Amino acid sequence: MILYQLLMVLALPVLLAHQAAFGAKGAVAERLGYGIAPRTGPGGRLWLHAASVGEVTSARWVIAALMAARPGLQVLVTTNTATGRDRVRGWQMAGVVAALAPFDGAGAAGRVMDRWRPQALVIVENELWPARLCAADNRGVPVLVIGARMSARSARRWGWLSGLIRPMLARIDWLSAQDSDSLARLLNLGLRAEAAGPVMALKSVGEVAEAPALPFAPPAARTATLLAASTHEGEEALVLDAFQAQSQFQHLILAPRHPRRGDEVAALLVKRGLRHARRSKAENPATETQVYLADTLGEMDLWYAMAGVAVIGGSFADKGGHTPWEPARAGCAIVHGPSLHNFAAPFAALDRAGGAIAVTEAADLARALQGLDAGQQSELSRIAAEVLMPQSDGAEVIDGILRALKV
State how beta strands 74-79 and 174-177 pair: unpaired
Helix (H, G, I), strand (E, B) or coil at 377: helix
CA distance 242 to 323: 22
Please name which of 59, 47, 158 lies closest in space to residue 99, comparing C-alpha atoms. 47
* Beta-carbon-side half-sphere exposure of residue 174 (alpha carbons within 13 Å): 19
Report phi then psi at 398, rounded to 5: -60, -45
3-state helix, strand, coil in the chain (%, to 5): 45, 15, 40
Asked if residues 324 and 302 have their Cβ atoms less than 8 Å apart, the reply is: no
CA dihedral of 369, 371, 376, 377, whole degrees rounded to 10: 20
Asked if residues 29 and 20 have their Cβ atoms less than 8 Å apart, the reply is: no
Cα distances (Å, whole numbers) of residue 328 to 4, 260, 322: 41, 27, 12
User: Of the residues 30, 55, 125, 235, which is catalytic?
Assistant: 55
Amino acid at 82: A
For the chain, what is the radius of gyration of the CA atoms? 22
Is residue 30 annotated as a catalytic residue, yes or no? no
> How far does the chain reach from its first CA to its final CA, in angstroms?
33
Active-site annotation, residues? 55
